[in-house]
Amino acid sequence: MKKILTLTVHDLASDGHGIARSGRDVYFIPGALPGETVVAEMLERKRKIWYCRLVSIEQVSEHRVDPSCPHYKRCGGCDLQHLEYSQQVILKQQRVARELSRQGIEIDNWDAPLIASDQQWHYRRRARLGIRYNKANQEVLVGFRESNSKHLTNIDICPVLVEHPALDWKAWRGRLAQLEGVARFTHIEVLQASERLVLVFRVLKKVTDNDRNKLQIWAAELEIDIYIRPDDEQPIAAVNEVISPLTHNVLGHNLSIHPDYFVQVNAKVNQLMVAEAKAWLAPEAGAHVWDLFAGHGNFSVPLAKDCIVDAVEVSDEMVRAIELHAEQLSSKSQSSPEKDGRGLIAHKADLSNSDSLESLPNPDYVLLDPPRAGASVCMAELIKRKAKRMVYVSCDPATLARDLKTLSEDYDVERITILDMFPHTHHIETMVLLVPASKSRQGRKIMMNDRLKTQAKKQARSQIQGLRNTKEKGASRGKSKR
C-alpha cells in the first residue's frame, strides 16, 4: 500500500533534493523546492530519512520555472533546471555558508559570485555519455543515466553541452547502429578544445577494421577527432590519419591538453576563476608560489608570467604537461626561473603523503585546488610554512569547511566567493582567500583555548570527586546494613 504525505519543503539538500520535516523524520523529495507544499510518496527509509517521489505540488514556489530541456524529467544530468537561475546561485551560496557554520566559521561579507550569467546554457565543454545496445529490439541508446538509476535516457540534443553539429545524439544512434560491433561500445567522452571537437569512444573489445574505417569516415565528414579507448589501463588511440595538437586558452596562454587531461568544464567561468585567484594572491615579481594539485597548469602558467611557481602534481601525465609548459616559458626568457625571478618548476609528489612538501622551498604564496577529498594532509605543512596569502579553490563545501577549521587558528578568511561552473546542477565551487591571523586575534584564541582547557580540567576534577563521594557513600551504606 502506498504511503502518501503532504509536506512543506524548507531547504535543498546537497544533491538538489527538497528537504521536509515531520516529527523526528526527514524527507528527501527530488524536484521539490523550498517554500512549496507537496504531496509525496514515501519509497524507502534509511535511519530517520525517508526517500520520496514527488506526486504533486499543492503550493508552487515563486521561483519555479519550466525546464528548458525536453529530457529533464528523466535525465539525471541536471537537477535544478526547475529553479530560477538567480535563485540557484543564492541557494548554492547558502549551502556553502551552512557547511562553514557547522565548523564554527561565520562569513559576514561574501564577494559577488563568479558566474557567466549570459552563458547558462551550452557551457559544458567536457562530458561523458553512456551507450547501450538492446539486442532484443536492435535499439541503440545514447544519453545520460536517469536520476538514481543505472538506466540510460535517450537524448537527442543536450542544452548544456557546447553547440556543435557533431553533438546530435539522434544522428549518432543511427551511425552506431551501422557498426558490426556496436555492443562493444559503452561510452562517448566529449572534449571541446580551442581548435576542434574530440570524441573518445570506450569499448569492451577490440574494434573491427570495418568499424574503425567507418569511424574514420565520420571523423572526416564531421571535421572532428575520434579516439578509441580500449580500457583504463591502455592509452587511447586515434582513428584519424592526422591528429592536430589540442589547446585551451587561459588568460591569453594556450595550454596544451590531451583528451585524458582534467580540464575545467566551464571555459568562461574558468577564465574568471583564474583571473580572480591571481588578483587575490597578488604575488610580487620574483615571489615563490606553490600551486598544489596543479593539474596540467591551469593556474601555474598564468602565475609563472610574473613569479616562480612550484607546481605539484602526482599524475605522471600532468607532470609531463607542466614540464612542457615550463619549457615553453623558459624558451621565451632564455634563463632559469631562479635567475629570471619567474617561471615554472614541475614537482611530482603525492599530496596524500604528509612528507610530500618537505623538500620544497618556502613559499611566499600558496594556491591549492584539491579534489573532493580536500587537502587535510597538507594542512600541518601549510601552517608551518606561514605563507603571506593562500587561495583555496574547493569543489566540496564539507571538506573545505573541515580544512578551514584546521587553519582557523593561524589564518583568517579575508575573502570568499562561489563559482558556478555547473549551472542547473547542484555542483558548486568555492574560492577562499586566507591571510595570517592578526596577533591580537591569535592571542585571544590562545587565551580562550587555555580558558577552555582550564574549565575542562575543573570539570574533570569535579566529576572524579563526585565519583569518589558516590563510592564512599555506597561503602558506608554497606557497612551500616551489615
Q: Provide the grid cell at 64.
A: 519555479
Cα–Cα distance between 191 and 201 in angstroms, integer? Answer: 12
Which residues on neighbouring strands pair with residue 250, listed in sequence order?
Answer: 253
Which residues on neighbouring strands pair with residue 293, listed in sequence order?
Answer: none
Half-sphere exposure of 393 (CA within 13 A, CB side): 27
Known catalytic residue: 395? Answer: yes
CA 79 to each of CA 74, 148, 317: distance values in angstroms, whole numbers, following the listed order: 10, 11, 33
Q: List, in sequence order, every beta strand (DSSP E) within 75-158.
A: 126-134, 139-143
For every residue of 375-411, DSSP letters joined together read -GGGHHHHHHHT-SEEEEEES-HHHHHHHHHHHTTTE
Q: In the 8-state DSSP scheme, what is residue 457?
A: H
> Given 52, 75, 78, 395, which residue is catalytic?
395
What is the separation of C-alpha 418 from the centre of its chain, rounded to a whole number of angstroms? 12
Q: In the 8-state DSSP scheme, what is residue 251?
A: T
Cβ–Cβ under 8 Å, residues 114 and 391:
no
At a CB cut-off of 8 Å and minimum separation 6, what does 33 contact? 9, 12, 18, 61, 63, 64, 82, 83
How many CB atoms lie under 10 A from the CB of residue 408? Answer: 16
Grid-cell match 601552517, residue found: 383
* CA neighbor of 259 nearest in space, from 324, 189, 315, 316: 189
Q: Using DSSP, how many helices (H) and how many strands (E) does the chain show?
A: 10, 20
Cα–Cα distance between 222 and 198 in angstroms, integer? Answer: 11
State residue 60 phi and psi, 5-degree precision: -90, 140
At a CB cut-off of 8 Å and minimum separation 6, what does 318 contact? 261, 262, 294, 295, 296
Cα–Cα distance between 127 and 150 in angstroms, integer? Answer: 17
Handedness of CA 83, 89, 90, 91 (dihedral sign): positive
Annotated catalytic residues are 395
